[in-house]
Structure 1
Amino acid sequence: MPRTLEGQITMEKTPSYFITKEAPRRVISMSRHTRLIVVVRDPVTRAVSDYTQTLTKSPGLPSFQNLAFRNATTGLIDTSWSAVRIGIYAKHLENWLRYFPLSRFLFVSGERLVTDPAGEMGRVQDFLRLKRVVTDKHFYFNQTKGFPCLKKPEGSSRPRCLGKSKGRPHPQIPSEVLLRLRDFYRPFNLKFYQMTGHNFGWD
């Protein structure tokens, strides 16, 4: 990580920090003043998206339901599958709260990043104590991708949007499989809402 000069903020990101058991201890050993931004989305949608991403790299992957259930007859969910385990946000947050107070966290809604990107970015800028520079004028909705992209910067020939790996159509998953997953996540979601003081509306 580069050194931060006076008047600068150093930012670092990876999806694996939040779910890695050793991460909070390592982060706090570097700085107790770190501000932590966690982007979360509906864990069912997140699991399907994770599966879709993996499927493009491994076309012979078993079906989503074969991976999601330890026992399809009883509906027992396989929490050893990373696509499912990552979405148990309350469990991961408990680990982080052993080291950092809740005031050090900002939880960003993945859904609101799509429906109101400027609003969520406004919250991020406030949390980092930055002047609100990123606003509505910086975004446009890309119909092909199905989510907002950044407008063309000055001197650039094209707008900036997430790469080909983002915005892929999800495979058709049987509705009863999704319903079982929603039932599985519901108590964890409710606990997460209580822990964060924010209802993300996933139920």
Structure 2
Amino acid sequence: MPRTLEGQITMEKTPSYFVTREAPARISAMSKDTKLIVVVRDPVTRAISDYTQTLSKRPDIPTFESLTFRNRTTGLIDTSWSAIQIGIYAKHLEHWLRHFPIGQMLFVSGERLIRDPAGELGRVQDFLGLKRVITDKHFYFNKTKGFPCLKKAEGSSKPHCLGKTKGRTHPEIDRDVVRKLREFYRPFNLKFYQMTGRDFGWDG
């Protein structure tokens, strides 16, 4: 972590922390007062996005449908596949709650971050004890990317948009596979809503 002056808030982001078993204990040992922010999205969409990212680097990988199941006939989901396993948020959260109270954690909706970035970042600013400086006026919607972008910062002529790896077109996935995945994730999602006190609306 970089050195921090009094009155500053230092942030470090690594997506894999949330699903790494050793991370909660290590972060707690460093600072029990650390505030944790986790961005989550519909686990089915997340799995397809994960696959799309891998596919862009390795076009020869098996289909999403074949990787999803241990046994396609019985419909048994392969939870050892990381694209599936990462989306079982409730199980990962259990490890964190052994080291941090839920009040030190904020769960940000990836869907709402796209629909209403200022609103969701308002929650982040409140959680960190900051004044709500970032508002609607700081964003515009980029139709090409399908994501909101930050308007140009002071001293910069260019707006800041997400990188080229974001906003890729997802492959068409068999509807029956998507349905079975939704059924698989539903109990885990409901438990996650209960644990966090927020319904993310992935099962509507």
Q: State the TM bucket, normalised to the shorter chain.
A: over 0.9
- Map of 2:59 onto structure 1: 59
1:44-68 CA-partner distances (Å, limit 9, x unpaired): 0000000000000000010001111
- Map of 2:78 onto structure 1: 78
SS at match of 1:39: strand
SS at match of 1:65: helix
Tell whether 2:195 aligns with 1:195: yes
Q: Which amino acid aligns with 2:47?
A: A
How far 1:152 sits from its partner (Å)? 1.6
Give ranges in structure 2 of 5+ residues lacking alignment: none
Q: Report the RMSD for the aligned CA atoms in angstroms.
A: 0.6
CA distance in 1, matches of 2:57, 2:185: 27
Q: Percent identity?
A: 76
- Map of 1:47 onto structure 2: 47
Q: Which amino acid aligns with 1:115?
A: R
CA distance in 1, matches of 2:154, 2:99: 42
Q: How does 1:1-203 map to 2 (within 5 A)?
A: 1-203=1-203
Q: Which amino acid aligns with 1:189?
A: N
1:139-186 CA-partner distances (Å, limit 9, x unpaired): 001111111011122332221101110000000001001000000000
CA distance in 2, matches of 1:157, 1:134: 19
Give ranges in structure 1 of 5+ residues lacking alignment: none
CA distance in 2, matches of 1:186, 1:116: 25
Q: Which amino acid aligns with 1:5?
A: L
1:22-52 CA-partner distances (Å, limit 9, x unpaired): 0000000000100000100000000000000
SS at match of 1:16: helix
Aligned residues: 203
CA distance in 2, matches of 1:97, 1:155: 42
CA distance in 2, matches of 1:131, 1:141: 24
How far 1:15 sits from its partner (Å)? 0.6
